[in-house]
A and B are shown apart, each in its own frame.
Chain A
Amino acid sequence: MNNSTLLHIFRFVILVLVQVVVLNHINFLGYINPYLYILFIVLYPIKNNRLLFLLFSFLLGLTIDMFSDSGGVHAAACVSITYLRPLILKWSFGSAYEHNSIKFNTIEFGTKLLYISILTLIHHCILFLLEVFNFSEIILTLQKTLFSSIFTILLCTIVTIIFSKRSK
């Protein structure tokens, strides 16, 4: 039980609470909600136990599912981006990401935005495909994915900027 473990548990609880208490009720233009809770997966340390990370993100998704009565759609989307994260890290930071441990508040803005955007788009795509669960409504699915992604990316970037300033 060291400091960073506590930080992650704290972050887990706060993100879930913010998501279910505030963000799930925004419903901008009827259906657009930001899903800030994926910040837990975005900010999870790069050197990690992969199995434990998968289990944590499953738990995160399932907790959100329990609050929003959505079966297992958030859990499925969460484990998918967790599994794909090493690949996405490689795309956005180059293959060097494993050697020099990247700190999220030192990398430049462009790469950070790219990294968050890829994760968010994959997550939302799986989330809304499973939520609508109907290929004949593919336009509606893509619409929801696109608009919610914009909000999520915006909010995630703002939150990371605000909270990284403090720790410098």
Chain B
Amino acid sequence: MQQILNFIIRNKAFLLYLLLFSVALLFTIQNHSYHKSKFINSANFVSGGIYDQLNTVDQYFDLKVQNENLVEENARLRNQIEAIETTTDSTFIDTTNFDGSFLFKPTRIVKNSYSASTNILLIDKGEADSIKQDFGLISPKGVIGIVDKTSDNYATIISILNTKSRISAQLKSTNHFGTLTWDGKSPEFVQLIDIPKIAPVQVGDTIVTSGRSVIFPKGILIGTIEDYKLDAAENNYEISVKLFNDMTNIEHAYIIEHLDAPEINNLLNLSNEQ
């Protein structure tokens, strides 16, 4: 017993080091598995508050570009309204356009990140604005990420520039779908994998969300095909996608809530159990 105590006292610095290092390692491993970073994240009062203050100053610097983006989007939406108004016939309801199950809420990105391999963003809406995990986040130009952790007034977003992000995407021209991943290298390009070999893939084609998950509606823009090759098994294409979004410069965004998500998930769980 005496010897054990002596050993502990003699090596107390080393033991404390081991303990602290293991705790840090535990946090790291948790952070690398999806939806598990419980303790340490920036959606809290202190860091959220500081980033919020910083952003109120920061946003003046690229006010012009952001305004141009919004004006551009307004113009596009205006055109769409115009098109709908001219084609709508009161005696005929086109059910394919009748899609009221998504709710859009505007928000501001207060902390952007694109240089790490697991990039996480922070937005200034949280539980108080009924934001929950697995809501989608898009900018006027395309997909940004998925809500991960929420606090009262802030939420963290798993960016598409995150090596653990998986988003279902498809070719715009056909319905061949695959999974959108990121290899951690360039913030301009993401990778679309598992597109079957039979799909007609061409450089310059547009990639959109597939709507197969309950997070994003179908047809949200992602990017264009820059390059493609067959994967190691030679059954599927591995496509390099150039993003429409400049992920290094994003400010205004919309949170997407899928109103039927709980119902759909329930149904899927029921069928899986049987």
Contacts and interface: CB of A to CB of B under 8 A. Distances in A.
30 contacts: A30-B114, A30-B187, A51-B12, A54-B13, A54-B16, A55-B20, A62-B24, A62-B40, A66-B40, A66-B47, A67-B47, A67-B50, A68-B116, A69-B37, A70-B28, A70-B118, A71-B28, A71-B40, A72-B25, A72-B31, A75-B23, A75-B24, A76-B21, A79-B20, A80-B17, A82-B17, A131-B116, A131-B117, A132-B117, A132-B184
Contact of B31 (A21, A31, A51, A70): A70
Contacts of B186: 30
Secondary structure of the A side of the interface? helix
Interface string A77-92: 0011011000000000
Contacts of B54: 21
Contact size range, A: 35 or more
B28 A69 contact: no
A20 B50 contact: yes
Contact of A51 (B13, B28, B42): B13
Closest 3 A/B residue pairs (Cβ): A71-B31, A72-B27, A72-B24
Nearest to B17: A83
B16 A68 contact: no
B184 A140 contact: yes
Interface of A: 17, 20-21, 27, 30-33, 50-51, 54-55, 58, 61-62, 65-73, 75-76, 79-80, 82-83, 130-133, 137, 140
Given A68-B116, A69-B118, A131-B118, 15 more contacts: A21-B54, A27-B248, A30-B186, A54-B20, A66-B41, A69-B37, A69-B41, A70-B31, A71-B40, A73-B24, A79-B21, A130-B28, A133-B32, A137-B184, A140-B184
B179 interface: no
Interface residues of B, number: 41
B156 interface: yes
Interface of B: 12-14, 16-17, 20-21, 23-32, 37, 40-42, 44, 46-47, 50-51, 54, 113-118, 120, 122, 156, 184-187, 248
Nearest to B23: A72
